[in-house]
């Protein structure tokens, strides 16, 4: 529990306010998206205290935001969103992005149905497990020179496409087209380079995964028609990020920015919120390095999708094009972006931190693909390996309330160590198999650490997003096969 229990002011059934008066020094209120049911779990850690702490950041506008999957994180809560006004001394904080920079998800559709895969599912899962490197310290078959490594940091997913690991259409369906501008390889430490060198095209460990899924519920006929989705369709979801490369960048700059707090006369209640003005040398250096990690992650997910397509080709004896394996979208979960948003009737340049949160831009927004202009940006929200995942689209209300943001997943209920104590992997594996879910993991403890009971119920979380109006449900998917590190 928090040191003092925060008394939230109820706005409606899905929104709650932390008043500015809660802590002297808060520049804006906190705004929490949750149901009463989810609040019970949210109160189990200090995440709400972190929402209040984020409200101290110089230049913060409107609210310090918390998505319904919120839980305790480094500085910012995971599931936290905050935007700062760059022209008013707004800051950027590595803690507002997180260690796994541009951890994100991409969703791939196929033209396969359950009857097409049910007899081949086990072979498919084993082939994916064999062909997609996963686990702590896993290394991929994609080897690059130092010069190529710098190219990846600047070009992102475009580098992978130029190497034959995808198509131009993949880029069109990736946030920032898989290549955020302003990446500065010179701002990256040698230690980060070493950690990232062998990890391109690898899945990693923890909650990262590759899943074969089945659409089991449709909600929005217009959006499904636009996206080419139907009931019973087989999908592939990939969740990973910048691996040790991004982790090292966050570690490097979190330390540097603590040293600079006094220089800019910044007072914050938690050193993990260390920050610097966006326009300062320190702010520019961090953003340059962070963008390198973001591009690295987009290249990584592009390479992983390529490996998954090849695995499907081997099992089904058809090209991935004939299998209809096209990318629906790729979204970033941990990133700081410079975006224009309307604040008090004026268009402002903001630094939008999304930590464990997904961009959810509305229909017609210039930054989303032309094909999605009528429905809004696809928003991919994965659940746990025993429940569902969801596809939503962004809304105008999200633009007005959350800087075009929604949640990114279910959100942890138990820490990994607590899950390990409470859950037996062998029993869990039998439970998943009884549901028709085939699971392959590299790590001995991964299964227990990532058990469904270690997470909030994704259905409760998505209900809040949908009913609060910051995302609109399109379809639901259930897992058939899961690859974890």
- Tens of pLDDT, residue by residue over 235-263, are 999 999 998 899 999 999 999 999 889 99
pLDDT at 146: 66
- Is pLDDT at 397 greater than 60 in this prediction? yes
pLDDT at 432: 72
pLDDT at 353: 98
Nearest in space to 442 (alpha carbons), one of 79, 16, 134: 134
Nearest in space to 387 (alpha carbons), one of 460, 459, 484: 459
pLDDT at 132: 81
pLDDT at 422: 64
pLDDT at 141: 55
CATH number of 9-484: 3.90.1860.10
Nearest in space to 50 (alpha carbons), one of 74, 24, 22: 74
- Is pLDDT at 1 greater than 60 in this prediction? no
Nearest in space to 144 (alpha carbons), one of 75, 198, 79: 198
- Is pLDDT at 446 greater than 70 in this prediction? no
Is the pLDDT higher at 482 or at 444?
482
- Collapsing DSSP states into helix, strand and coil, what is residue 104? strand
Q: What is the pLDDT of residues 343-391, one digit of tens each?
A: 999 999 999 999 999 999 999 999 999 999 999 999 999 987 678 999 9
pLDDT at 452: 64
- CA-CA-CA-CA torsion sign (459, 462, 466, 468): positive
Sequence ranges of the domains in the chain: 9-484
State the pLDDT confidence band at 445, using cuts at 50, 70 and 90.
Answer: low
Mean pLDDT, residues 136-149 taken together: 58
**Cα-to-chain-centroid distance, residue 169:** 21
CB within 8 Å of 230: residues ≥ 6 apart:
215, 218, 224
- CA dist list (Å): 435 to 10, 276, 355, 480: 39, 49, 32, 9
Q: What is the pLDDT of residues 23-82, one digit of tens each?
A: 999 999 999 999 999 999 999 899 999 999 999 999 999 999 999 999 999 999 999 999
- Is pLDDT at 204 greater than 60 in this prediction? no
Is the pLDDT higher at 212 or at 191?
212
Nearest in space to 29 (alpha carbons), one of 52, 59, 49, 3: 52
d(CA 300, CA 144) in angstroms, rounded, equals 13
pLDDT at 138: 42
State the pLDDT confidence band at 205, using cuts at 50, 70 and 90.
Answer: very low
Mean pLDDT, residues 83-108 taken together: 97
Catalytic positions are 408
């Amino acid at each position: 529990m928090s040191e003092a229990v925060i008394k939230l002011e109820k706005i409606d059934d899905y929104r709650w306010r932390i008043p500015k008066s809660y802590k002297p020094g808060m520049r804006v209120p906190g705004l929490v998206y949750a149901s009463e049911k989810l609040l019970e779990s949210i109160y189990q850690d200090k995440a709400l205290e972190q929402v209040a702490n984020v409200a101290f950041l110089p230049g913060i506008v409107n609210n310090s935001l918390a998505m319904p999957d919120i839980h305790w994180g480094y500085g910012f809560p995971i599931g936290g969103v905050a935007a700062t006004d760059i022209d008013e001394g707004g800051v950027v904080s590595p803690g507002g992005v997180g260690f796994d920079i541009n951890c994100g998800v991409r969703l791939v559709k196929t033209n396969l149905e359950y009857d097409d895969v049910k007899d081949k599912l086990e072979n498919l899962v084993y082939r994916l497990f064999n062909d997609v490197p996963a686990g702590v310290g896993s290394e991929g078959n994609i080897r690059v020179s130092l010069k190529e490594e710098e190219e990846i940091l600047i070009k992102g997913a475009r580098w992978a496409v130029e190497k034959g690991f995808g198509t131009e259409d993949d880029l069109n369906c990736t946030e920032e087209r898989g290549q955020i501008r302003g990446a500065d390889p010179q701002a990256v430490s040698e230690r980060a380079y070493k950690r990232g060198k062998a990890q391109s095209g690898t899945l990693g460990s923890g909650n990262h995964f590759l899943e074969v899924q089945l659409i089991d519920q449709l909600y929005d006929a217009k959006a499904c028609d636009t996206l080419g989705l139907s009931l019973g369709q087989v999908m592939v979801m990939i969740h990973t990020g910048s691996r040790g490369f991004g982790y090292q960048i966050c570690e490097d700059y979190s330390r540097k920015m603590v040293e600079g707090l006094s220089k800019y006369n910044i007072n914050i209640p938690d050193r993990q919120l260390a920050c610097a003005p966006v326009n300062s040398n320190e702010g520019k250096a961090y953003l340059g390095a962070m963008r390198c990690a973001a591009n690295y992650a987009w290249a990584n997910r592009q390479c992983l999708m390529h490996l998954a397509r090849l695995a499907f080709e081997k099992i089904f004896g058809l090209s991935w094009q004939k299998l209809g394996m096209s990318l629906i979208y790729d979204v970033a979960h941990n990133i700081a972006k410079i975006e224009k948003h309307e604040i008090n009737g004026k268009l402002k340049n903001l630094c939008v931190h999304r930590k464990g949160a997904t961009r959810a831009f509305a229909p017609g927004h210039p930054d989303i693909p032309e094909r999605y202009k009528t429905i809004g940006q696809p928003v991919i929200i994965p659940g746990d390996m025993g429940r569902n995942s969801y596809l939503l689209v962004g809304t105008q209300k999200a633009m007005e309330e959350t800087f075009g943001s929604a949640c990114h997943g279910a959100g942890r209920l138990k820490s990994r160590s607590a899950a390990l104590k409470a859950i037996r992997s062998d029993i869990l594996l039998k439970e998943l198999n009884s549901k028709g879910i085939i699971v392959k993991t590299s790590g001995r403890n991964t299964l227990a650490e990532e058990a469904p009971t270690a997470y909030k119920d994704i259905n409760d979380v998505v209900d809040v997003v949908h009913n609060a109006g910051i995302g609109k449900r399109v379809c639901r998917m259930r897992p058939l096969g899961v690859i974890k590190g």
